[in-house]
A and B are shown apart, each in its own frame.
Chain A
Amino acid sequence: MFLHVYKYRLKTIFRSRVDLFWILLFPLLLGTCFYTAFHNITKSLEEFNTIPVAIVCEDDADLTFFKAYIDALSSEENNILSATYTTSDEAQSLLSDKKITGIITFKDSIPSLTFLNTDSTNTSVSQSILKELMDSYIQSLDILSNVEPEDTESLMAVIANLGQNADYIIERKLTDGNTDYMLDYYFSLIAMTCLFGSYSGHSCANFLKANLSAQGMRKCLSSTKRLTLILGDFFASCTFPVISNIILIIYLNYILKINLGGNVLLIILTAAIGSIIGVCIGLFIGAIPGIKDSLKNGIMTASSLFLSFLSGLMVGGIKYKIEKVVPIVNKLNPATVITDALYSLNIYDTHDQFFTCIAILAVTIVILCTLSYLMIRRESYASI
């Protein structure tokens, strides 16, 4: 009997155009829009590694030592700088055209840096790296000037130290995951898809309660046990959003080639649990008596979008701001917990944070399921 109920409920959902659009097509469309909008930004950020710089020598200073330093930084191994030796005018022109990040000018054998933007509060990462490199060079040069030329041992130590500086500046990832902050938007998208499962949950409640629909009334009058009806309908209602989320994840990960980080199976597990949360929210709202169906739909759409907004669907980084001010909101917002779970899968080497998030989601499911069941289980009503 359970399979009979499950099969037909699933058929109903798969043929519901509203559910198909909101739970399956809309997230795919939004994912495509995100990809179109963010792809170029991500690409330009990925090409940031090598810093183009112009070197100008305004006197006859001996640049042998400096050139060796720059060559080391420009080597294939380090690939931090891309240096161009030129005149002052040409360098200014390149800087104006933003073809280089800065100009290193030698005057009296002392290098100085020139950037296009002189506002110190608005320095880019590239500018900071350049500053760091020059400071390191000047510091080493100063040490070198204090070393006796005959003291070859100290001299070698300073030169060795200079070479090591390049290693300090080499880009080192804190994690093996994808650090692209645009990923937050995709995580929020997955969370939103999970919450859109509420549509499925709402219709589940609607078709189970005799005081909400004629179909619900007919089910109530049947000889199938109430629990079988509820479980069959509920699991079928969960199946569709879970499948939709799997399709979305496959689409993002394998077709749009967005590296979601972490183990894909665990990402799918998170999305599956998130989808059940969505269905539970819909089931709970749908089961509340005395509210018009249209109002329930409005509440679900508004709450799904608002919770997704708080998790960063529309404004990136909003959840970090909320975390500073009212961290409890992030703990209670299932969309944020879902994105946190996905983020922790991507960033952290251990799964402690991930399992904390999953535990929060599981507790939420239990609470919502219990409350919904209490409202749906009845077969006899005070009024219909």
Chain B
Amino acid sequence: MSASVITVENLVKRYKELIALDHFNLDIKEGEIFGLLGPNGSGKTTTMNCILSLLKYDKGVIKIFGQEMKPDSYEIKRNIGVVMQNVAVFDELTVYDNIDYFCGLYIKDKATRKQYVEEAIQFVDIEKFKDFYPKKLSGGLLRRLNIACGIAHKPKLIFLDEPTVAVDPQSRNNILEGIVKLNQAGATIVYTSHYMEEVEQICTRIMIMDKGKNITTGTAAELKKMIKNTETIHIEILNLPDSVIAKIKELTHVYKVEYTDNLLKVFYNGGKHNLIKVLDLLQKEDLSFGRVYSELPTLNDVFLEITGKELRD
């Protein structure tokens, strides 16, 4: 069993009357890519800021690398890298200078720093732009610069707060691949996002948050097992008689059927070859149909089933 890198016990954070974090608990192990998933306002960033001692909290204990985290815990901070949601660079400094500046806040030795900065530039693949000023960079390159500034000092623990917001798909894939590489190089990653696909793609363990509470934690597969739905089949079909809908409901593993706007949705809680079975039935009833597709459950379905609302609300 890996050692705990972050432990949070009974964390409570209030903004006047609003309870942002309600007796929140967290345990992140070394080498994990831990995803904090939740809708906007669920408390992901507040959790991160409390862990980093940027925010004062009302109650609870936070430990990083086994030591209590305080605002002046500079030794702990030396091993932490943060990539914030907002791009935190200086417009007046070049790409190289920005990375060198932030790296220099952790690394005193000039030669080591130079090497680290070069490696960070290579890592995010912005060698061609190192003499550019941030205003001349595209959104994707700017995000990569933001990441380089946060990880250049080779931290053991990296916090990434929605690093792919407003990034094009290609840059997003580059960023996600980079995060996995960082993890493979030995860093523990805490990744917050409201993009469930990203979290599902890269995180080894996921916590779903809502209203400052831990709703559930586990791997993507474990979370999906928590819900009833295993597959949803969608079929475009005109004028489906009620008698046929009743027959579909009686098929094995079907627990719900919806038919609205000429779209049939059949929900399963298990079973194999479900699509073939439902199409067989429709053929026997001599009904023609259009587009057919099957969907496996997503983390959104998990969130929907547990909280009764969409993750992206």
Residues of A within 8 A of B (CB): 1, 4-5, 8, 11-16, 207, 210, 213-215, 217-226, 229, 378-384
Contacts and interface: CB of A to CB of B under 8 A. Distances in A.
Contact of B71 (A5, A11, A380): A380
A217 B150 CA distance: 12
**Could you tell me the dominant secondary structure of chain B's interface residues?**
loop
29 contacts: A4-B101, A5-B105, A8-B101, A8-B104, A11-B92, A14-B92, A15-B92, A214-B87, A215-B88, A215-B89, A217-B84, A217-B88, A218-B88, A218-B150, A221-B54, A221-B77, A222-B102, A223-B105, A223-B106, A224-B105, A225-B72, A226-B72, A229-B105, A379-B72, A380-B53, A380-B71, A381-B54, A382-B56, A384-B49
Nearest to A218: B88
A384 B52 CA distance: 13
A214 B84 contact: yes
Given A4-B104, A210-B54, A223-B105, A215 B90 contact: yes
B75 interface: yes
B93 interface: yes
B54 A384 contact: yes
**Of residues B54, B56, B72, B100, which shows the largest number of chain A Cβ atoms within 10 Å of its Cβ?**
B54
A213 B87 CA distance: 10
A8 B150 CA distance: 17
A378 to B, nearest CB: 8
A223 B97 contact: no
B55 A380 contact: yes
Contacts of B149: 218
A213 B72 CA distance: 20
B54 A380 contact: yes
Contacts of A15: 92-93
A219 B105 contact: yes
Contact of A220 (B54, B87, B100): B54
B10 interface: no
| Shortest 4 CB-CB contacts between residues of A and residues of B | A214-B88, A222-B105, A15-B92, A379-B71
B80 interface: yes
B56 A381 contact: yes
A286 B71 CA distance: 22
Nearest to B90: A12
B74 interface: yes
